[in-house]
A and B are shown apart, each in its own frame.
Chain A
Amino acid sequence: MEYKDYYKVLGLERDVAQDEIKRTYRKLARKFHPDVNKEPAAEARFKEIGEAYAVLKEVEKRAAYDHLGQGWQPGQDFQAPENWDAGFEFSGGEPNGSGGGFSDFFETLFGRLHQGGSTPRGQTAFRARGEDHHAKVLIDISDSFKGAERSISLRVPDIDETGHIRLRDRTLKVQVPKGIMDGQHVRLKGQGAPGLGGMPAGDLYLEVQFKPDKFYRADGRNLYMKLPVTPWEAALGASVQLSTPQGPIMLKIPAGSAQGRELRIKGRGIPAAEPGNLYAVLNIVLPLANTDKAKKAYEDMARGLAFDPRAELGA
């Protein structure tokens, strides 16, 4: 088990005032809340912050934690000393933050507080449908074209045979359906928390997010991609080969196309009964005038074409 430096997690000195801990936590919680921050690392960071705050916000827990000593390095192998918390009285209570999912380090030191009488759904003689769980899963845009199987790991509170709440690692293999769109949710029926008193289990909701793609941007079922073309292809028209998520196609560029023109390739977006479209957005790329031949070609154009792109500026 690894030692966790809760002060470092919050970026604070060990002698920080109690008020400052709260202010810092709130600031970091806003910044890294997984519903607000879409960076993949945000969720882990948010949990870490929540765990640190759950300990440091209470004077007694903080004192007990400080008593463990400062000699530990973050990540160092850690064993809790015998009776490490003697003389400290905890007021208990459920830590807030994203519910369960605290580290082994936290569980060893403070975990028994979870098992107090105030914990929800921990006791029998109580009938309730299990809680729904929510998680995120990242997929590539190409996964939406063929469907994908993803393994996701969840840390869920579970009730063991002695009636205590424990954290359990759960790995689920999930079939992400073909045609899923960015930001859509899928539901796995009965895969949330178990129900109590014979009530059904909750559901697991997964928010599907597309990883940033090098070439494509998704907007609903439509996909957009930048298509680099030469000035003469745009001016004179051309047929170019284009790779799409469903394989290469030939695309006709109409003569007289301007920069930014969107060419629609019908039905080549995200698959569905009514599939989306793929849009190739023309990006005219100029060749460098770095050879005599290229310079000559530009000079010929300058002489041969009466073209003033600044006419509208009235200069």
Chain B
Amino acid sequence: MTASVIQPFDTEIVDAQAIYTLEELCAVCLVEAAWVVDLIEFGVIDTNGRPRPEWQFAGLSVVRVAKAKRLERDLSLNPPGIALVLDLLERIDMLQAQLGPV
């Protein structure tokens, strides 16, 4: 086990810019295209609304697909289950925010 310290890295905020094609998204997240299509059908991620050959995905989709993949792997969830969990988590976040200092 070695430890190394690296100097500060510049970071780039992952935003809503459309930068990935379906193939790139699959390659980056190590998932099958059919599975991503399932996620799209259940509204976990959104396309740019174009026909499939022209699909593009926002940078944020990488994060959502990776999260979906972890939920599938760790909790054996299927795409409708993943969609439900993500929706409920969003609601919990919203409700918890309202319980905050204000």
**Which of A77-85, A129-137, A246-254, A297-305 is the interface stretch?**
A129-137
Residue count of chain A within 8 Å CB distance of chain B: 56
Binary A-proximity of B78-102 (CB < 8 A = 1, otherwise 0): 0000000100010001000100111
Q: Are A169 and B2 in contact (CB under 8 A)?
A: yes
Interfacial residues of chain B within 7-62, with CB under 8 A of chain A in the complex: 7-14, 27-30, 59-60, 62
From B1, B75, B100, B102, A29 is in contact (CB under 8 Å) with B75
A168 at the interface (CB under 8 A from B): yes
Q: With A173-B5, A205-B66 as given contacts, are A186 and B13 in contact (CB-CB < 8 Å)? A: yes
CB pairs A–B below 8 angstroms (24 shown): A33-B70, A35-B71, A35-B89, A36-B71, A50-B74, A97-B74, A131-B30, A132-B29, A134-B63, A169-B3, A170-B3, A184-B13, A185-B13, A185-B59, A186-B11, A188-B12, A189-B12, A205-B14, A205-B63, A215-B101, A218-B97, A219-B97, A226-B102, A279-B102
A176 touches B (CB below 8 Å): yes
Q: How far is the CA of A33 from the CA of B9 in the complex (A)?
A: 28
Set of chain B residues within 8 Å of A168, measured between Cβ atoms: 1-3
Which residue numbers of B lie inside 8 Å of A, CB to CB? 1-14, 27-30, 59-60, 62-63, 66-67, 70-71, 73-75, 85, 89, 93, 97, 100-102
Contacting pair B102 A177 (CB below 8 A):
no
Q: Which residues 13-47 in A have Cβ within 8 Å of B in the complex?
A: 26, 29-30, 33, 35-36, 46
For B63, the closest partner residue in chain A by CB is: A185
Say whether A224 contacts B102, CB under 8 Å. yes
B74: chain A residues within 8 A (beta carbon): 29, 33, 46, 50, 96-98
Query: Footprint of B on A, CB under 8 Å?
Result: 26, 29-30, 33, 35-36, 46, 50, 96-98, 104, 129, 131-132, 134, 149, 166-177, 180, 183-189, 191, 202-203, 205-207, 212-219, 224-226, 279, 281
Inside 8 A of A203's CB, which chain B residues have their CB? 28
- Contacts A166-B1, A173-B7, A173-B8 given; indicate if A217 touches B101 (C-beta within 8 A): yes
